[in-house]
Amino acid sequence: MKGLLRCAVLDDYQQAATTLADWSPVADRVEVVAYTDHLSHEDRLAARLADFDIVVTLRERVAFPASLLDRLPRLRLLVASGMRNSVIDYAAAARNGVTVCGTGSSSTPPVELTWALLLGLARGVVAEYDALRACGPWQSTIGADLHGSTLGLLGLGKIGSRVARIGLAFGMDVVAWSQNLTAERAAEVGVTLAASREELLAGSDFVSVHLALGERTRGLIGAAELALMRPTAYLVNTSRAAVVDQDALLEALHSGTIAGAGVDVFDVEPLPEEHPLRSAPRLLATPHLGYVTRSNYATYYGEAVEDIRAFLDGSPVRLLP
């Protein structure tokens, strides 16, 4: 391996990086080391990455602030899956001579997971499964009907609009709201524009979050907003954790302000073992699986190889930001 550049693949929990992509195009120039654990402490990250020229990071699992990038003088290429990453300091990367590239990413997996969570909540799938396995009561829940109910979407972008069309196929009344959404755009998707966030929350049986995280959306759903929802309504968030105030959501789940929530994103990931969300009632939670599918991973790592090869050939592609 002498003379090869070293490439670290971070947070490869399922050991997919080298099984779902062909690294042979760069095998004669790059030594690949995949790590299956997660390091959150910056000192430990800096020590681990000190001897690497290339780093491949999955989505936004690991932050690359200036304080970390300044400690990696050997790093020359940072590849992040997807074409949007809010936890990389691009100015610091440029200052340190680090090229940052992205990859393609499909919106289909998070759409499908949104419906997995919503349907699981509506029909009490986890509670009924647990009871069946434990020889508990035969039927203990009464499912919520989708047909004829109202689906409220916070955000009607690429993912939200696809979620909307599935809701329409179920026979749901679909309404949507975001700060820049127009009636014309809503009509293009076949849904109704809610007059306000408050109107959407108060009138929906299911609320699903599909907003990018920014200053205007951080904490958009707090205690006051959750209190507007019907006690029979469900909240689903497969977007960004910080859009929904975590403490307010925990209180709503414990008090029964809402019927339940389906959550795939968290303020801290992986979720600490003692975190109260792990034992919260009325919660169906998954460990950030929104983008985790075979085809999406094949794209992430396959195009990461392409990015590395193009960089080594002197013509980098998919540059970020």
b/e 236-255 (16+ beta carbons within 10 angstroms → b): bbbbbbbbbbbebbbebbee
- Annotated catalytic residue: which of 31, 128, 199, 269? 269
Q: How many CA atoms lie within 13 A of 127 on its CB side?
A: 17
Tally the C-alpha atoms within 13 A of residue 88's C-alpha that lie toward its C-beta.
29
Contact (Cβ atoms closer than 8 angstroms) between residue 50 and residue 27 = no
- Phi, then psi, of 283 in degrees rounded to 5: -120, 130
Write the single-letter amino acid at 129. Answer: Y
Q: Choose among 237, 234, 205: nearest CA to 219.
A: 237
Residue 210 annotated as catalytic: no
φ, ψ of residue 303 in degrees (nearest 5): -75, -25
Question: Would you state the structure tokens that stand for residue 21, as one six-digit string?
Answer: 């992509």
**Is 240 considered catalytic here?**
yes
Residues 6+ apart with CB under 8 A from 86: 60, 213
- How far is it, in rounded angstroms, from Cα 8 to Cα 210? 32
Both tokens of residue 217? Answer: 């959306």
Q: At which residue do the structure tokens 């419906």 appear?
A: 115
Residue 201: partners with Cβ closer than 8 Å, 6 or more residues away: 152, 207, 221, 225, 226, 228, 229
d(C-alpha 120, C-alpha 127), whole Å: 9
Q: Which residue among 288, 303, 306, 318 is the active-site one?
A: 288
Tell which phi-psi region holds residue 114, choosing left (phi > 0), alpha (psi between -120 and 50) or beta. Answer: alpha
Catalytic residue among 240, 303, 306, 318: 240
> What's the DSSP call for residue 57?
E
Active site residue 188: no
Q: Which residues are catalytically annotated?
A: 240, 269, 288
